[in-house]
Structure formats: C-alpha cells, structure tokens
Copies of this chain bind each other. A is one copy, B any other.
Amino acid sequence: MTTQELIEQIKIKKSFLTVGLDVDLSKIPKHLFDLEDPIFEFNKAIIDATHDLCVSYKPNTAFYEAYGIKGWMSLQKTINYINENYPDVFTIADAKRGDIGNTSSMYAKAFFEDLNFDSVTVAPYMGKDSVEPFLAVENKHTIMLALTSNEGAFDFQTLKVDGKELYKQVLETSKTWKNSENLMYVVGATKAEYFTEIRKIVPDSFLLVPGVGAQGGSLSEVCKYGMNDNIGLLINSSRGILYASNGTDFAEKARAEALKMQQEMEQIISLKFI
C-alpha cells in the first residue's frame, strides 16, 4: 500500500486507528480454547468486528513467537486473513528488527515477501546499513523507533548527543538514508509535548503512536501537537480494545471500544478540516 492510499483510507474511514493484535493466551476468552487455533480465531473475530473502524492492524511478533511454530502459524494465518479479506487495511509487523546489512535483508524478506506485511518496525541502534535493506523494498514502509512510550525511553533516547537528544539525532540522520521517503517513526503518546519538536524535524512523515489508553497517553494531546496536513498519525490501541471483555461478547465489546476511538478521531478530523 502506498502512503497516498493510506491517507485515502484515513479520509474514507474517518479514522487513524491501529489495532494492536498482541494476543496473550492468558487474557482471551476461555471458550476459544475449544478451537484448533485460539490465537487466530481471536484475531479473526476482532478483525471482523473492527475492520471498518480502523485503518491498520499491528500484530507484535513477540506474542506469536512465544508460542513457537504454532504461534508463527497463527501470525501467518492472521496476516493472510487480513490481506485476503480486507486488502485496504494497512498492516504493520511490530517486530523491532535490525541487524547488519545482509542480515537485515533477510528480515525484509521475512516480513515484506514471505508474510507480505505493508510495513515493519525496526530499531535504530545499528545505524544506516541495518535499516536501508528494508527501505529498498518498493511500496513497503519501515517504521523506525524514535521515542518510545516506555519508562526505559529515558535511559538513552533522551540523552543529549552534541547538545541534542538522541531521538532527534536518530530522526535527522535517518532522513539522509537512501529511500528515506519510505520511513515512518514510532513516537510514544505518553510524551505528547515532544511532538512539537519532532514535527520540526519530520513534518511530513507518518508517526505510529503507541501508549494511548493502557499506557496513559491522551489522544487529543497527541493530535494537537502531532498531526500534520495529512493527519500523519497512526494511533495504536491494543489492550483497551482486545480485552474489553473476556466473555463470548469479546468481539462486540472490542468493537464498542474501537468505535469510541473512531468517533473521537472523526471529531478531531472534522475540526481539522473545516
């Protein structure tokens, strides 16, 4: 999916919601365990119930790898299900990969070719040649960690390098990389006041924003400081939607939560584009 197509979807659906498919077997409804692949069945029900309210799904690979081959199969079935049934939805493999050049090429193959995701998250620590192999793939997007939503973000990301926070240096340096137009960035919602500074460096890029909801970030604050003329935000919610209920009504309750967020987003969009 191209960036332009993603922007179109945001306008059509009046939503910039990403649903994080972080399936924890200890939290999903017990009746799903009677089925052969509870993780996939859970995802399928969530996707069917929310696909018109969100523009993106983001499975985090950790939650699948934890269950070994079975988990990887659930991931494959999930991405295939989305691609076959809802091809207008932007898909994100939240994998936070990154390695030396020839190895990163193998990760690009894994997520862009084998699994056929639209995008993958990557870590910046290993620099240019660890990210460029992802950027080289046409019509795919590489979402690099800039400022994350967790407490540990303050350990290194906000340290000053040459008088400037590391995450700002990461943003600036990445703009010089080949095919950097294929970059998006992860910026945590728990630090809304940082968005002003970030937008000075990457005014046009899409930002994937975790941390709204369970982690305490405010949607309106993030939009106030982070939105650009194309919206430019993908707001992720995982636990708040997935685990709204752990009964047989889980998908219905998930839809209700997603709807609340979509409506809030619709209002923000309408105020933005009066």
Contacts and interface: CB of A to CB of B under 8 A. Distances in A.
Interface of A: 22, 24, 60, 62-63, 65-69, 71-73, 76, 94, 96-101, 103-104, 106-107, 109-111, 114-115, 123-131, 145, 148-157, 159-162, 166, 169-170, 173, 210
Contacts of A76: 68-69
Oligomeric state, in number of copies? 2
A151 to B, nearest CB: 5
26 contacts: A22-B103, A24-B106, A62-B104, A63-B106, A65-B106, A65-B110, A65-B114, A66-B106, A66-B110, A67-B114, A68-B115, A69-B69, A96-B99, A96-B126, A123-B123, A123-B125, A124-B155, A125-B125, A126-B148, A126-B150, A126-B153, A126-B157, A129-B150, A156-B161, A159-B161, A160-B161
A231 to B, nearest CB: 25
Nearest to A164: B159
Contacts of A114: 65-68
A151 B166 contact: no
Contact of A62 (B103, B154, B156): B103
Contacts of A67: 110, 114
B162 A124 contact: no
B123 A152 contact: no
A60 B1 CA distance: 29
B145 A126 contact: yes
